[in-house]
Structure 1
Amino acid sequence: MDDQQNTTAGYGFGIGVYLVWGLVPLYFKLLDHVGAVETVAHRITWSVGLLLALLLVLGKVRNLGIIFRNRRTLLALTASATLIGGNWLVYIWAVTHEHILAASLGYFLNPLLNVVLGTVLLKEKLRPATLAAIILAAIGVAILAVSALDTLWISVSLAVSFALYGYIRKVTDAGAIEGLAVETLLLSPVCVAYLIWLGMAGGLMFGASLETDMLLIFSAAVTSVPLMLFAAAAKRLTLTTLGFIQYVAPSMVFLIGAFVFNEPLNSGQLLCFALIWAGLALFTFDSIRTAHANRTRARLAA
């Protein structure tokens, strides 16, 4: 896959989703009195209704039947559902237990894994400037990892699960909404069963207050809309490009953790931040220059 397969719509979807994800910790911090497992269970359960309603409005409900009859696609979405469910669980636990910086490191690591998957599995080619940008970012991430070894398990699990999720969604023949609907449908029986059990045990937070209930219900939109944008971006961008755009979100999360919630910030983390953004600036400049050269060649060939 080459740069000419990066589309304007892909950049729009990608930048949009990562801007939203960069602000998500502020939302789930409001739910820090709710257990991480219950929050994830509500995210998935309420998302089913939202996604089915969208499919009904768009006239795409029958596409679900096509997916469920395709064994290969269904197995792929079962794997992606498991990965994203685990990713949400670890992420929410980290946010609600004062480990937002560790969560941001996970998503700093993720673009590097995207590059590895893109070059090894999808044979995406790296230009020299892109390789230099990757090296800068990798050095920064390594510094940050060494400075946060006690919470490295959070970062690694988030990075690996989301990188694999992105790869599966990119190569799976399923629409953004339809694929996400199948994923939530596959996860929902376990989530509903857990919420029923939690309610019977007297530990269910849903119903404790109107504010909490509305936050849990609206988490469906906070969950589903960005993932639909992500799936659309993944179809329209190379994994390398998608990975570098992703640095927008963890950078925002990093700043929120350090300056909004006052989590401890050390010199290693600041150096990491500077190196990653230097790599991102180099990648962005090279991408703009290459896109301009491609347009010029296209005009001359016309």
Structure 2
Amino acid sequence: MSELRRGYLFGIGAYTLWGFFPLYIRVLLPAGAVEILAHRVVWSVAFVALLLTLVRRWRFLRELARRPGRLAGICLASALIAVNWGMYIYGINSEHVVETALGYFIGPLVMVLLGVVALRERLNPAQWTAVGIGTLAVAVLTIDYGRLPFIALTLAASFGGYSLVKKRLALPAAEGLLVESAALALPALAYLAWLTARGDSTFGQGAGHTALLIVAGAATATPLLLFAGAANRVPMTGIGILQYIAPILQLGCGVLIFHEPMPPARLAGFALVWLALVVFTVDGLRTARRRTPEREPALAG
């Protein structure tokens, strides 16, 4: 199997797992969103620490300790991903799976705007058109919901900011996840201890439920590691297309499995988002073709 095909399989695996993640979050009820988030942080640290021990890749901690500026960046990334994870879990458990899908659909457009604001990048007419259509979509959805789609906007903004910080830090996937989770581990453990002292913790209430909470670490790390394998083998244009797998599956979970409503106005808002993404993706593919002097090799078995 070629490395390119292997990379696409890794990418499809990562985004498929992320797409069906709402099903896993729902079976963690009656645990609340913050309790699930805290367990996700704690068990991620444990899982990735075990993984790094097995492959003997702890040397990076010494290098990181010599760079306090990088540690500050990691703390910022930790805060952003905590907001993203927490809002995502809240959205699923409050029966807003469709809105969480919307957040990841508009994510690429938010990242383009962050590039303009933070990196002084310039947009071409097609990109501005996509952003304009996306803005109109948010307006339509605001009218439909009777409020700003704050879950979707928070997910898109927090993940966009997280991606921007991660781009500047350039940490490997496993090492990055370990340090980011470790920065949140003490507050997470303190919250779980407080919850247990109050008698409100769901941990230990049934072997199956407890096992599912522990599995949160592996469930968090596995798709991220698969994504890292894809990012090292697949062109950015390919990654850009693969990223739509997750919100499509999340939308399917919300509408077909959890039976969340999709009235005509909401469907129109989503249609505008999809139109913006088509404009954005087609422009990205054209740009990539102009910059690549040779065609990409065909997939080989």
Q: TM-score, normalised by structure 2?
A: 0.83
Q: What is the aligned partner in structure 1 of residue 190 from structure 2?
A: 193
* Deviation at residue 31 of structure 1 after TM alignment: 1.2
SS of the residue 1:273 aligns to = helix
Q: Write the deviation string for residues 257-287 of structure 1: whole angstroms up to 9, x where unpaired.
A: 1221111211122122323333434444444
Is 1:276 the equivalent of 2:265? no
Q: What is the aligned partner in structure 1 of residue 218 from structure 2?
A: 221
User: Relative to structure 1, is the Cα distance of residues 275 and 156 closer, same or farther in structure 2, using a 3 angstrom cutoff?
Assistant: closer
Unaligned runs of 5+ in 1: 1-6
Equivalent position amino acid for 1:262 in 2 = H
Equivalent position amino acid for 2:98 in 1 = L
- Cα distance in 2 for partners of 1:253, 1:199 equals 32
Q: Which of 224, 249, 254 lines up with 1:252 in the alignment?
A: 249
Is 1:52 the equivalent of 2:49? yes
- Cα distance in 2 for partners of 1:275, 1:53 equals 45
* Deviation at residue 211 of structure 1 after TM alignment: 1.3
SS of the residue 1:121 aligns to = helix
Partners of 2:237 and 2:285 within 8 A in 1: no
- After superposition, the CA RMSD in angstroms is 3.2
Equivalent position amino acid for 1:122 in 2 = L
SS of the residue 1:271 aligns to = helix
- Cα distance in 2 for partners of 1:123, 1:68 equals 31
User: Relative to structure 1, is the Cα distance of residues 75 and 233 closer, same or farther in structure 2, using a 3 angstrom cutoff?
Assistant: farther
Equivalent position amino acid for 2:177 in 1 = L
- Cα distance in 2 for partners of 1:145, 1:14 equals 32
* Deviation at residue 246 of structure 1 after TM alignment: 3.8
Q: What is the aligned partner in structure 2 of residue 19 from structure 1?
A: 16
Equivalent position amino acid for 1:221 in 2 = A
Q: Which of 99, 113, 118 lines up with 1:116 in the alignment?
A: 113
Is 1:164 the equivalent of 2:161? yes
User: Relative to structure 1, is the Cα distance of residues 72 and 45 closer, same or farther in structure 2, using a 3 angstrom cutoff?
Assistant: same
- Cα distance in 2 for partners of 1:220, 1:251 equals 24
Q: Write the deviation string for residues 80-134 of structure 1: whole angstroms up to 9, x where unpaired.
A: 1111112211211221111222222322332221011223433555455444444
* Deviation at residue 60 of structure 1 after TM alignment: 1.4
Give the percent of matched residue pairs that are identical in Structure 1 and Structure 2. Answer: 39
Matches within 5 A, 1:1-302: 16-124=13-121, 126-150=123-147, 152-229=149-226, 246-296=243-293
SS of the residue 2:204 aligns to = coil
Range 233-242 or range 92-101, more displaced: 233-242
Q: Write the deviation string for residues 147-171 of structure 1: whole angstroms up to 9, x where unpaired.
A: 2244623222222211111110111
SS of the residue 2:202 aligns to = coil
- Cα distance in 2 for partners of 1:155, 1:81 equals 19
- Cα distance in 1 for partners of 2:205, 2:166 equals 37
* Deviation at residue 297 of structure 1 after TM alignment: 5.3
Partners of 2:100 and 2:155 within 8 A in 1: yes
Range 141-150 or range 205-214, more displaced: 141-150
- Cα distance in 2 for partners of 1:135, 1:39 equals 36
- Cα distance in 2 for partners of 1:145, 1:240 equals 31
Partners of 1:80 and 1:165 within 8 A in 2: yes
Range 124-133 or range 213-222, more displaced: 124-133
User: Relative to structure 1, is the Cα distance of residues 21 and 49 closer, same or farther in structure 2, using a 3 angstrom cutoff?
Assistant: same
SS of the residue 2:149 aligns to = helix
User: Relative to structure 1, is the Cα distance of residues 97 and 141 closer, same or farther in structure 2, using a 3 angstrom cutoff?
Assistant: same
Partners of 1:118 and 1:239 within 8 A in 2: no
User: Relative to structure 1, is the Cα distance of residues 102 and 231 closer, same or farther in structure 2, using a 3 angstrom cutoff?
Assistant: same
Equivalent position amino acid for 2:270 in 1 = F
Unaligned runs of 5+ in 2: 297-301
